Structure 1
Amino acid sequence: MPGRRKPNPPEEEPSNESRDYSVRAVERVCSILNLVQESVDGVTLNAVAKTTQLPKSSAFRYLWTLENHRYVERDTDSGLFRLGLGFVGMQSRHLEVLRERARPWLERLRDEYDETTNLGILDGNAVIYLDIVESRRTVRLSVSNGHRDPIHSTALGKAIAAHLPEGRVREMLTQAGMPGVTPNTITTPDAYLDELGKVREDGYAVDNAENEPDGRCVAVPILGTRLPAAISLSAPASRFAREDVAKVAKSLQEIADQIAAPEERPEQE
């Protein structure tokens, strides 16, 4: 009988020292994201090309692909690249930390004005409410946690959108549409972008019966958290006069600064 064929000896497993499973393209993507993440204002194409040791044309293709998948976004005015909104859904723990940090400040603000206070974050093309501290009054403006509202008709949406690249804002408005929620709602992109310019100038955003027929809301962004978030106070317009908006906005701005500083917490009275 012919002899049984002996199996080939196994190939020698490479040692830990010689093992290298890295993929050059993935390493470059990680380098780009690390660079963008470490920058507050954003990075230039030249900086990305230098870090990755790629020609500018190749670095741009990497950035274009990441932008297409919303992991980076480009400011059309400055040309700087920042982290995009594609990471927001992956940051559930960061969202919870933000909510926990904001809660006592929202409660203090509610008690000061006896009106509903809110914490919202951009989710896709809409604002989602992470936390609501309701007014104790019988007649009040409030929604439930997880509720989604358009960016074009809400103070929260305006406050957040005012600090996004214009190209991204236009894309969001095109995708979501700009329906007239009330007769006062802004319904054209150009008018909305003009409104965002005013928001940046004033430091706060206002919804004057644009999302609710008898509602008024003022909001400010929470800057420095790497999350597109904002806080707001909302009330029936009959109780929240236009002349009180600036005063409330100042309180919101002070609180937004405190939320961005985790070591600070309101004193218990």
Structure 2
Amino acid sequence: MKVLVREEATEGAGAGGRNTESGSLARGLQVLGVLHESMHALSHSEVAEAANLPASTTHRLLQALVEHRQVERTRGGRYRPSARSLLPLVMDHPLNSLRRDVTGLLRGLCDRHGPSTSLILFFGTERAMLESAPGRYSVMPYYDTHLSAPYHTTVSGKLLLAHLDPDEQKTLIAGKPLLARTPHSITDVARLQDELNTVQSEGFATNLHENVTGICACGTVLKSSNARAIGAIVMSGPSEYFSSETIPVMRRELRETSALLTHTSLALRAVARFLE
């Protein structure tokens, strides 16, 4: 961004210059994040308040982001993300291709069973929702494409943990308290490890009121053609949809859908290479 060039020229190429550049980049990303999270265009003062930045700094960053076509200034003088910022991937990017491949499959699962059905990808130890078919109810189980709910209380989190190597798994759960989100949350590491062993062997996980009371979920791991776990297909919604009779049926169909994608989707193979 232009502001970074100015500051680098002022501060020089030493540690001070690098720190200034890094700080400016972080603040620019912070401003862009505020705009991405908003459902409408924001005024300069609204951006500054949400980002907790001085008005002058916010103005400078917004101008740089406009100049680099990451932000658009409306006729009314408000700011919103540009088309380039909101839709940065080319149409034939593997992620866009996979989204098109799974849309009908997710909708079919949702229509047959009721709960929202989502495809979640693993970016290292982070989880992101690529596509979702909303269920037959007004409550949405996800509010963000980047999932931040605890690993030990969610289906996608358990599936990710179960398919990590032991050292990576320990980094995420060892030595840290397993906080209870509900009375049903697993808070004992030994008990969680037993469940993860089962999840790893079965490729299937459940969340029965463990993250939000009244909301349940189940899901299966999504693997690449070389058997590497790259994501999960998850059904989630009100607990009335999840019973001892319905969960086995969901498990079978989730596994069938996952296997179909693994063996037939060229887009999934491309995504697997992208995530290596």
- TM-score normalised to structure 2 length: 0.56
Is the CA contact (8 Å cut-off) linking 2:114 and 2:135 kept in structure 1?
A: yes
Q: CA separation in 1, counterparts of 2:162 and 2:257?
A: 19
Q: CA separation in 2, counterparts of 1:97 and 1:189?
A: 39
CA separation of 1:169 and 1:98: change in aligned 2, threshold 3 A: farther
* Runs (5+) with no aligned partner, structure 1: 1-90
Q: CA separation in 1, counterparts of 2:194 and 2:141?
A: 27
SS in 2 for 1:261: helix
* Counterpart amino acid of residue 211 in structure 2: N
Larger fraction in helix: 2
Q: How does 1:1-269 map to 2 (within 5 A)?
A: 93-123=93-123, 125-139=125-139, 141-174=141-174, 178-224=178-224, 226=228, 228-263=230-265
* Counterpart amino acid of residue 168 in structure 1: E
CA separation of 1:147 and 1:165: change in aligned 2, threshold 3 A: closer
Q: CA separation in 2, counterparts of 1:176 and 1:117?
A: 31
Is the CA contact (8 Å cut-off) linking 1:125 and 1:173 kept in structure 2?
A: no
Superposed displacement of residue 226, structure 1 = 4.6
SS in 1 for 2:263: coil
Superposed displacement of residue 184, structure 1 = 1.2
Alpha-carbon displacement from aligned partner over 1:35-92 (angstroms, at most 9, x marks no partner):
xxxxxxxxxxxxxxxxxxxxxxxxxxxxxxxxxxxxxxxxxxxxxxxxxxxxxxxx99
Q: CA separation in 2, counterparts of 1:99 and 1:175?
A: 37
Superposed displacement of residue 177, structure 1 = 5.4
Q: CA separation in 2, counterparts of 1:111 and 1:180?
A: 32
* Counterpart amino acid of residue 257 in structure 2: I
Is the CA contact (8 Å cut-off) linking 1:218 and 1:245 kept in structure 2?
A: yes
CA separation of 1:191 and 1:149: change in aligned 2, threshold 3 A: same
SS in 2 for 1:260: helix
Is the CA contact (8 Å cut-off) linking 1:206 and 1:218 kept in structure 2?
A: yes
Superposed displacement of residue 126, structure 1 = 4.2
* Counterpart amino acid of residue 249 in structure 2: K
Is the CA contact (8 Å cut-off) linking 1:115 and 1:140 kept in structure 2?
A: no
Q: CA separation in 2, counterparts of 1:181 and 1:124?
A: 24
Is the CA contact (8 Å cut-off) linking 2:115 and 2:238 kept in structure 1?
A: no
* Counterpart amino acid of residue 262 in structure 2: A
**Percent identity between the two aligned chains:** 23
SS in 2 for 1:238: helix
Superposed displacement of residue 219, structure 1 = 0.7
Superposed displacement of residue 173, structure 1 = 1.9
How large is the Cα RMSD of the aligned pairs? 2.8
**What number of residue pairs does the alignment pair up?**
175
Q: CA separation in 2, counterparts of 1:101 and 1:230?
A: 15
Match of 1:7 in 2: none
